[in-house]
Amino acid sequence: MKKSKTNVYYVLVLLFLLVSCAQESKQSVPVEKKLSKEVLLDKIKGGWAGQTIGCTYGGPTEFKYNGVYIPDYVDILWPDGAIKGYFDTFPGLYDDVYMDLTFVQVFDRLGLDAPVDSFAMAFANADYMLWAANQTARYNILHGIMPPASGHWLNNPHADDIDFQIEADFSGLMSPGMPNTAAGICDKIGHIMNYGNGWYGGVFVGAMYALAFVSDDIEFVVNEAIKIIPKESTFYQCITDVIRWHKQYPDDWKQTWSQCKIKWDNDKGSPTGVFNYYNIDAIINNAYIVIGLLYGGGDYAKTLEISTRCGFDSDCNPASAGGILGTMLGYSNIPEYWKKNLYEVEDIPFAYTDISLNKVYQLSYNQALQVIEKNGGKIENDDVVIRCQTPQPVAFEECFTNHYPIEKRTINKSLREWNEFEFDGVGFAIPGGVTSNDPAYIAMVETYVDGELLETIPLPADQIRRREDLFYKYQLPKGKHKVSFKWLNPQPEANVTVYNVVVYSDKPKEPFKYQ
């Protein structure tokens, strides 16, 4: 009897292993994927439409819930005319979309091999407002620091921020089934404004879009896409944590959100986010995209709601989640409840562009056909055959190596009355702003470190061309330093205001201990 039970046990184990292996072999990126042109276009439309819908849905909550999730009792509404309302009154909400369109337009004008400088100059000279890593990169480019240096953390305190993550959708939509090709596009364009985890955010989003063309299993898409990120990066570790917590708490996204907050809700680079509830770091915001996708389980409404309720950049995160799921479902399968608000804007160009949704559907489709052919695929009458790609890890990058924020001093004073400080560490960053009655005014400020001139910095009052953070310097020798500033061309109607000072050292700050 005992022997019989043992045999049954081993048979059951063998059957389990066989089933697992069969499922594993089934869950892999296909070598080739044949789609009709109609389906390909439908999926591309679904990606752009889904991004626009998600951005609109989360718009009213953006950065209003920082460090907390949006409670269930707070209604997130979807009224008739929601998208048209934003088009008419606050078109800047769609920076997620019109940033993408800048790059789509360069590809359309110059072809798939357009040089990176063309993307950089189109981006830097655009009329729209930018923030964080994007604005720092714009300033760098306009002052001769070109990519990839424009996005590197030594030149960009926001290199780990969300910026490229929210504008990388185009890379996956033009690379169906080809995540490595999407990553190659991201390598060129994403380093304009980001580096390290900030760059990985866009690479990962692009890979999920690309894989959404060839799989209708959202868990598979997430699990496969993260393979494109190096395992030694904290970005990879965070997303794999989210995947693991989803398995541990499959019916409770708030448990995963809580675990994520405890371990990953900290901002190392952004001077605004350091020691603050505000967090625009790519890691945590991408985690919220993944929480929405995994717990949404392919349900469009649930995906948007969860990725929005996670908080922080809660219009950009549902925009990415909605776009990825929209690609997987296709435009025709996005529920009518969500599409009803889209119809009245599909022929209206987004702000700062001459490109509408209907136009970008076609532009992106044309570019996808070119990318498919360029990468070994075929166009056969009414079908396309995609040579699919298994994700391969991109190069390892890390921002703020051996730099840890240890202090944040509130200043809120004019450079007229506050023009020097001392610190003990390896670097500093100083957010601030320039105002003037003359929008063409540019403050010229000399920065000295330990008595030696570091640089003479032009600080435009023009908000489009401003320097996002007034002053910063990393990789100083560890020790005590004195920093001073000399405002060379002060004017009575102009002011240079220092908000605060963030100090970095080569080791994390020791936790406070009660006596």
Q: What is the 3-state secondary structure (H, E, C) of 352-385?
A: CCCCCHHHHHHHHHHHHHHHHHHCCCEEECCEEE
Residues 382 and 440 in one domain: no
The per-residue pLDDT for 27 is 79
Is 21 a member of any domain? no
The per-residue pLDDT for 7 is 52
Is 263 a member of any domain? yes
Residues 246 and 365 in one domain: yes
The range of the structural domain enclosing residue 237 comes to 29-387
Residues 423 and 326 in one domain: no
pLDDT digits (tens, 9 = 90+) for 100-158: 999 999 999 999 999 999 999 999 999 999 999 999 999 999 999 999 999 999 999 99
pLDDT at 3 over 50: no
What's the domain count of the chain? 2
Residues 381 and 428 in one domain: no
Is 9 a member of any domain? no
The per-residue pLDDT for 10 is 44
pLDDT at 512 over 90: no
Interatomic CA distance for residues 226 and 286, integer angstroms: 11
Residues 263 and 172 in one domain: yes
Residues 39 and 79 in one domain: yes
The per-residue pLDDT for 509 is 85
Is 397 a member of any domain? no
Residues 417 and 383 in one domain: no
Residues 40 and 92 in one domain: yes
| pTM of this structure | 0.94
Conformational region of residue 376, where left means phi above 0, alpha means psi within -120 to 50, and beta covers everything else: left
pLDDT at 477 over 70: yes
The per-residue pLDDT for 9 is 43
Interatomic CA distance for residues 63 and 314, integer angstroms: 7
Residue 46 parent element (H or E): helix 37-58
Residue among 479, 494, 510, 477 nearest 443 (CA): 494
- Is the sign of the CA dihedral 178, 180, 181, 185 positive or negative? positive
Sorting pLDDT into bands at 50, 70 and 90, what band is 95?
very high
The per-residue pLDDT for 21 is 41
The 8-class DSSP code of residue 131 comes to -
Cβ burial 231-264 (10 Å sphere, 16+ → b, else e): eebbbbebbebbbebbeebeeebeebbebbbeeb
Sorting pLDDT into bands at 50, 70 and 90, what band is 374?
very high
Taking CA atoms, 91 is separated from 83, 348, 462, in Å, by: 9, 11, 20
Q: Last residue of some domain: 357, 387, 417?
A: 387
Residues 256 and 122 in one domain: yes
Sorting pLDDT into bands at 50, 70 and 90, what band is 228?
very high
Structure tokens at 55: 């951005």
> What's the mean pLDDT in 326-349?
98
Determine contact, residues 112/374, Cβ cutoff 8 Å: yes
The per-residue pLDDT for 514 is 76
The per-residue pLDDT for 26 is 57
At residue 480, what are phi and psi to the nearest 5 degrees? -85, 135
For residue 415, the domain's CATH number is: 2.60.120.260
The per-residue pLDDT for 90 is 95
The per-residue pLDDT for 277 is 86
Q: In what order do the strands lie in the sheet with 32-36?
A: 32-36, 383-387, 378-380
Q: Last residue of some domain: 361, 387, 413?
A: 387
For residue 146, the domain's CATH number is: 1.10.4080.10
3-state secondary structure 221-254: HHHHHHHHCCCCCHHHHHHHHHHHHHHHCCCCHH
3-state DSSP call for residue 468?
coil
pLDDT at 207 over 80: yes
Give the end-to-end CA distance of the chain in Å, rounded to a whole number: 65
pLDDT digits (tens, 9 = 90+) for 421-439: 999 999 999 999 999 999 9
